Structure 1
Amino acid sequence: MKIKKYLVKDIKEALIQIKQELGENAVILQTRRIRKGGFLGIFGGEIFTEVTAVAEENTSSVDSKKKDFDNQEDTIYNLREILSRNIRKNLNNVKNYEKGNFNGVKPENHDEIDNRNVSNGNPIASTNIIKDIEEIKRMFVQLNAKIEMFNGDLSEFPAELKKLFNRMVDQSISKDLSLKMLYELKDEESFEINRLSDLISRYFEKLIKVEVPDIGNGISMFLGPTGVGKTTTLAKLAANLKLKQKKKVAILTIDTYRIAAVSQLKTYSEIMNIPFFVAYTPQEARNIISTIENFDSILIDTAGRSQRDEIHLDELKKYVEVVKSDYRFLLLNIAINTKDLIDTIERFSLCEPTHLIFTKLDETNNFGNILNVGDNFNLPIAFITTGQDVPDDIEIADSKRLSELITKEVFKNV
């Protein structure tokens, strides 16, 4: 692991140096502004940006990495120190922002606005309260249903439905939802395979919420954990908007943590002849958008964030609040386990996603998570992706097609 600091006039200069010296997979750990020169380093002098970056050193094999482990202890210790300082700094940044101070930008106090709206009977605020109440009601209804389900016993069901239950669970469909379906089917006169398959498919279809927004007109942000495919998905949609729908498209990235991400998206943009912009702060993103408002569609790529990284999720939330996008797509890897998937949606909810995009459907035969999400959240699916090819491997979500896909796997080899 290699850590290096750069003293530059601006962050763009640092990115060029980091890419040249550490490679495209380098990651920025910390940035801070310092003054050089002048009297005692206080009066006069110039303002510079200090950027700390890290990159994995090339090794020939996993074994060689293990052999070098002892020699890297000092480096790892230094990295932990830097990360610790960075976390403390980011916490202070969040606190400063909440006080109305973020990178020199003093935003409106949203809490005061919300309180003022409620007190004045603002319909938007009232609508938000109603939505919250409805969501709480829905959660209680689901909780009661689940309690009843756990009191159930498979012994009351015929053998055909017991087998169906096991096949649904094997497809990663939750036990609660699988049991709920059995109760729906228990009074049927026949459990013949073709009939069961048809009934299940129709039941699945009702659970799958789909909605495809008009991304050809408006601002769209792409959110999600690391490695879920945000950049590639954005490129696919940009290509379709530009080449097939003949829309005037611009791409903006705020993913400045990974050097490779900027380069990858810039390459896509150049190939498609689409204007490309990079923003380093929320206000800079807002300023760039104000200069390209005449474009039909503005697509915004964001940095991948672990759902458990609260500091960076708060940072992402600041971008969401300042950018004010029309659509916010939360991308989810269909292949991860249900618990982590639900945890991801819940933690990213602070960014108020409007739609879901399921990715990597080509990497699994288990599609039950589509139903689990539909059973737990009121978020529609907009698109699914089925590979890495740009612009081809993306489809508009269709509830009938998805239900048939899941049903096919449930009844496979039966």
Structure 2
Amino acid sequence: MKMKKYTAPTMVEAMKKVREDFGDDAVILSSSVIKSKGFLGLFQKRSVEVVAGFDQKAEKPIYEPPARAVLPARSDAAESLQAEMQEMKKMIKGMQQSDRTLEKYPDELIPLLVKLQTQGLAHEYIAEAGDALYEQMKKEKKDFTETEQLELLKQWFSAKLREVSFGGISYTKKYINVLGPTGVGKTTTIAKIAARALLEEKKKIGFITTDTYRIAAIEQLRTYANLLQAPVEIAYNATDFAAAIEKLQDRDLIFIDTAGRNYKETKFVEDLQRLVDFSLDMETFLVLSTTSKEQDMDIIIERFEKFPIEKFIFTKTDETSSVGSMINLMLKYSIGMAYFTDGQEVPEDITEANFEKLFTLLLAGDQHA
């Protein structure tokens, strides 16, 4: 493979140089951006360094096996390597397509749109936002300042997210049910919400856990409950769940910590349906980790489509600098956001969601609201 390094003020210019040398079959091996300090990481001077390559395929294979020769079976390692190479090719193709999408916009808009790219916002939304800003620039026949660009982008996002709701628990329903796969931090999140209900709203709280598959999960909830001086009931089946509801009738709010399972498996979703009584006066939230792949979160959401999901709760925003998937999923499923979390401290590291905080989080990356 022939390789060459390119440096240019913008990614668009760098890609033009790559295509001049290698054409559309070029492969982007790596790219990096060096930026000076600026507001929220935007609109600063920057240079782009790209390493591109071109695979000069031989006209004939180096070795042709005899017609009757039996080739050795491919090893698992070889198959794994092949799969990784295919995945990399898809990723590179997506990067190249994205760069071409940005070519139609003036240089003044590129840093902002690149920022949205790095945040993982879907290409279709980046294109819509870019078109809206560019059309306004042409309409007013001028270049926008940094502040004007941000304000226009904010207006576009506000209109786009108008149909989804924001905000935490309503305090109008007795039962707070929290669903989600293993490893997303459900129990800690429940403890944060419950602690605020107790400390700020002076509510009498109680807990039910159906996560009987992991002793550690039960003990973790008991630890939080002891600190909050709140009762905990354990439900192994639907009968236990009904009994727990009866025992906690004197509570203002009852928080239900469901089992963290691999809900890509339909069986576990059906088990949950049989165990929890969803006909109760209940608010149900789905917890997802921002460190998960968006396609995996898609599968989880689709598995829970029969459940009355009020809003999403997104966790671990402090462990990623790419939070665009939150907006992608909210728009795709028309489901709002209740909270996002950014650490393990209870009850501090949780933020009740609103549009302003989400927009700031999107632009700031790893600088949190």
Q: Shorter-normalised TM-score: what interval?
A: 0.5 to 0.7
Residues in 1 aligned to 2:291 and 2:194: alpha-carbon distance in whole angstroms: 25
The answer to whether the aligner puts 1:201 opposite 2:154 as a matched pair is yes
Other-structure match for 1:100: none
Q: Given the alignment, which residue of 330, 341, 345 partners 1:389?
A: 345
Other-structure match for 2:117: 169
Offset, 1:239: 1.4
Residues in 2 aligned to 1:378 and 1:351: alpha-carbon distance in whole angstroms: 14
Residues in 1 aligned to 2:366 and 2:107: alpha-carbon distance in whole angstroms: 16
Residues in 1 aligned to 2:152 and 2:175: alpha-carbon distance in whole angstroms: 40
The 3-state SS of whatever aligns with 2:176 is strand
The answer to whether the aligner puts 1:344 opposite 2:300 as a matched pair is yes
Residues in 2 aligned to 1:288 and 1:406: alpha-carbon distance in whole angstroms: 41
- Classify 1:276/1:409 alpha carbon distance in 2 versus 1 (closer, same or farther; 3 Å): closer
Other-structure match for 1:231: 187
Offset, 1:323: 6.0
Other-structure match for 2:91: none
- Classify 1:367/1:153 alpha carbon distance in 2 versus 1 (closer, same or farther; 3 Å): closer
Residues in 2 aligned to 1:181 and 1:322: alpha-carbon distance in whole angstroms: 39
Other-structure match for 1:293: 249
- Classify 1:316/1:333 alpha carbon distance in 2 versus 1 (closer, same or farther; 3 Å): same
> What amino acid is the match of 1:199?
L
Listed as ranges, the matches of 1:139-154 within 5 Å are 154=102
> What amino acid is the match of 1:167?
K
- Classify 1:216/1:360 alpha carbon distance in 2 versus 1 (closer, same or farther; 3 Å): farther
The answer to whether the aligner puts 1:302 opposite 2:250 as a matched pair is no
The answer as to whether partners of 2:173 and 2:281 remain within 8 angstroms in 1 is no
The 3-state SS of whatever aligns with 1:350 is coil
The answer as to whether partners of 2:177 and 2:257 remain within 8 angstroms in 1 is yes
The answer as to whether partners of 2:101 and 2:127 remain within 8 angstroms in 1 is no
Q: Given the alignment, which residue of 304, 309, 313 partners 1:353?
A: 309
Q: Given the alignment, which residue of 328, 332, 350 partners 1:372?
A: 328
- Classify 1:311/1:410 alpha carbon distance in 2 versus 1 (closer, same or farther; 3 Å): closer
Offset, 1:212: 2.7
Offset, 1:224: 0.4
Residues in 1 aligned to 2:366 and 2:156: alpha-carbon distance in whole angstroms: 13
The structure where helix makes up a greater share of residues is 1
CA RMSD of aligned residues (A): 2.5
Give the structure-2-normalised TM-score. 0.65
1:220-260, Cα deviation, whole Å (9 max, x unpaired): 11100101011001111121222222111110101000010
Residues in 1 aligned to 2:334 and 2:269: alpha-carbon distance in whole angstroms: 21
Q: Given the alignment, which residue of 112, 127, 132 partners 1:179?
A: 127
Residues in 2 aligned to 1:367 and 1:356: alpha-carbon distance in whole angstroms: 14
The answer as to whether partners of 1:383 and 1:397 remain within 8 angstroms in 2 is yes
Other-structure match for 1:277: 233
- Classify 1:216/1:245 alpha carbon distance in 2 versus 1 (closer, same or farther; 3 Å): farther
Extract unaligned runs of 5+ from structure 1: 1-148
1:348-377, Cα deviation, whole Å (9 max, x unpaired): 222231111111111112121121122212
Other-structure match for 2:21: none
> What amino acid is the match of 2:231?
P
The 3-state SS of whatever aligns with 1:401 is helix
Other-structure match for 1:42: none
The 3-state SS of whatever aligns with 1:220 is strand
Residues in 2 aligned to 1:314 and 1:186: alpha-carbon distance in whole angstroms: 48
The answer as to whether partners of 2:167 and 2:353 remain within 8 angstroms in 1 is yes
Residues in 1 aligned to 2:206 and 2:366: alpha-carbon distance in whole angstroms: 42
Residues in 1 aligned to 2:246 and 2:360: alpha-carbon distance in whole angstroms: 44
Give identity over the alignment, percent: 32
The answer as to whether partners of 1:201 and 1:404 remain within 8 angstroms in 2 is no
Offset, 1:171: 1.0
Residues in 2 aligned to 1:323 and 1:217: alpha-carbon distance in whole angstroms: 12
The 3-state SS of whatever aligns with 1:395 is strand
The answer as to whether partners of 2:132 and 2:156 remain within 8 angstroms in 1 is no
Residues in 1 aligned to 2:366 and 2:332: alpha-carbon distance in whole angstroms: 21
Other-structure match for 1:159: 107
Offset, 1:153: 5.3
The answer as to whether partners of 1:236 and 1:392 remain within 8 angstroms in 2 is yes
The 3-state SS of whatever aligns with 2:135 is coil
Listed as ranges, the matches of 1:55-134 within 5 Å are none
Offset, 1:405: 2.1
The answer as to whether partners of 1:197 and 1:407 remain within 8 angstroms in 2 is no
Offset, 1:395: 1.5
Residues in 2 aligned to 1:309 and 1:257: alpha-carbon distance in whole angstroms: 16
The answer to whether the aligner puts 1:314 opposite 2:270 as a matched pair is yes
Listed as ranges, the matches of 1:234-273 within 5 Å are 234-273=190-229
Offset, 1:154: 4.5
> What amino acid is the match of 1:157?
Y
Residues in 2 aligned to 1:373 and 1:392: alpha-carbon distance in whole angstroms: 26
Extract unaligned runs of 5+ from structure 2: 1-96, 138-142
